[in-house]
Amino acid sequence: MFYFFEFVTFAFPKAGVLVGSVPITVATLLFLLALLFSIKGIGFMVDRYKGFVIGYAVYAFFVLMPLLLNITATDIGNITIALVMLASPLAILIGTQADFEKTVKIIAVSLIIVGLYAVVQYFFGVERTAIPGVNIAYGDSFSKKTIGYGMSSQGLDALKMPSTYQNGNGAGLFYIMCLPLLFFWKAKSTCFRIIRIVAILAAVAGVMLSGSRTILIPFVVIAIPSLLIYIKRKLPERVQTLYLGGLILVLIGLVLYVFIADSQFIQYFIDRYIVQTLSDPTASGRTEQFGDVLSMIYSLNAPDFLRFFFFGMPWSEARMSEGVLYMLSYYGFLSFLSFLFLLLYPVVFVFKRNKILSVGLILVFIAFLVDRSFNYPPYLINYFFLSGLYMRHTDIISKRGCSPAIG
């Protein structure tokens, strides 16, 4: 049952039906069922990671209290978000019960499905290739999603290829979180060695097609250099010069290809990631939202600030914002701090044992700072599930147990 939950959550997280304005997905129902079978993981977490358990208790209290204070004066959307925020970190319990090898195999197959579906959407259209109830909730439409529908200047029907995640940012989070794991997984059979390589290629293609600058920029700035440096250090000294020379030649070749090739994909890439980024200094309105939230805080009187500090603003007055400042506005300063603590706990834990594997979690953490994907399943679920997997299998993720498998 655990592995069916993993596959559906990673590969088809939005399969389900839209009820009113709330999507009811198979992955969410399986998550609740998997939690029931993961109760025994509580003892493991209390014994080994008491700090995380205490942090979650504090976080849960300061999410639950604003929900109770506002429940009679808000809509089903805000209530659903609060419940998602409360339950999703518990996915760490499911991760502690998962078998490492089987889970990585499921992730590899899921990356192939999600990445190749994005390629299909790019060539044939997001709406034309939609399968209602499978890659989008039945009764929903991609035209309502934040994928830049109808805004492309390259003849595409959307700026972002959402694959099975309904949103390019969401699909991008899955790619970047799991790519480091795939790079350092030593598949035992020839079949899965091939699957691993295809999964890496599909995920890289998916990142490029996600249309998410929140995903691609940290990926290029942090993940790629980290991987290249790590590989260099693992090579014999006599091979390192050849390795660096090869990287330089590849870089020159890529630059020449960009300038010479008349490719629709290259034009899409340049338009989405370079032209639109340079022409939008507000980062899709985020800087204005952040300024609005901070201005609201500075204008509070003493009693209002006290309420804000503990429980956030009344939701009818709170300022909507992307990223973690949403937590500050809606749930207060203590909830904001405890949320950051929960996100950073596994990052620090994994970083001490395997810096490359920690890159996936670091990139998702950076994305959450500026994007509100954590309000919706399965993004926090995926993050904490993988965190639990790493925290359970410390012998495997340690440098002695997890070496790079480049080929």
pLDDT digits (tens, 9 = 90+) for 105-148: 999 999 999 999 999 998 898 888 999 999 999 988 887 776 66
- For residue 50, being part of any structural domain is answered with yes
Domains contained in the chain, number: 1
pLDDT, tens digit, for every residue of 184-221?
Answer: 898 889 999 999 999 999 999 999 888 778 888 888 88
- For residue 406, being part of any structural domain is answered with no
pLDDT 10s digit of each residue in the chain, 407 long? 789 999 999 999 999 999 887 899 999 999 999 999 998 889 989 999 999 999 999 999 999 999 999 999 889 989 999 999 999 999 999 999 999 999 999 999 999 999 999 999 988 988 889 999 999 999 888 877 766 665 555 656 777 889 999 888 999 999 999 999 998 898 889 999 999 999 999 999 999 888 778 888 888 888 878 877 777 777 777 677 776 777 777 777 666 655 665 556 666 666 656 666 666 655 566 677 777 888 888 888 999 999 999 999 999 888 888 888 899 999 999 999 999 999 999 999 999 999 889 999 999 999 999 889 999 999 999 999 999 999 999 988 885 444 445 44
- For residue 381, being part of any structural domain is answered with yes
- For residue 211, being part of any structural domain is answered with yes
Give the type of residue at 19: V
How far is Cα 134 from Cα 11, in angstroms, rounded to an integer? 10
- For residue 402, being part of any structural domain is answered with no
Residue found under tokens 């596994």: 346
- Per cent of the chain over pLDDT 70 is 86
Select from 214, 231, 243 the least CA-distant residue to 180. Answer: 231
Residue 164: C-alpha distances to residues 9, 142, 386 (Å): 10, 11, 19
Whats the size of the chain, residue-wise? 407
- For residue 404, being part of any structural domain is answered with no
pLDDT, tens digit, for every residue of 141-183?
Answer: 887 776 666 555 565 677 788 999 988 899 999 999 999 999 8
- Contact between 36 and 1 under an 8 Å Cβ cutoff? The reply is no
Q: Which helix (H) or strand (E) holds 24?
A: strand 22-25
How far is Cα 404 from Cα 406, in angstroms, rounded to an integer? 6
How far is Cα 78 from Cα 161, in angstroms, rounded to an integer? 27
Residue 104: predicted pLDDT: 97
Q: Which helix (H) or strand (E) holds 404?
A: none
19 forms beta bridges with 22
Residue 402: predicted pLDDT: 46
- For residue 60, being part of any structural domain is answered with yes
How far is Cα 265 from Cα 245, in angstroms, rounded to an integer? 27
- For residue 341, being part of any structural domain is answered with yes
- Contact between 126 and 149 under an 8 Å Cβ cutoff? The reply is yes
Domain limits for position 220: 2-397
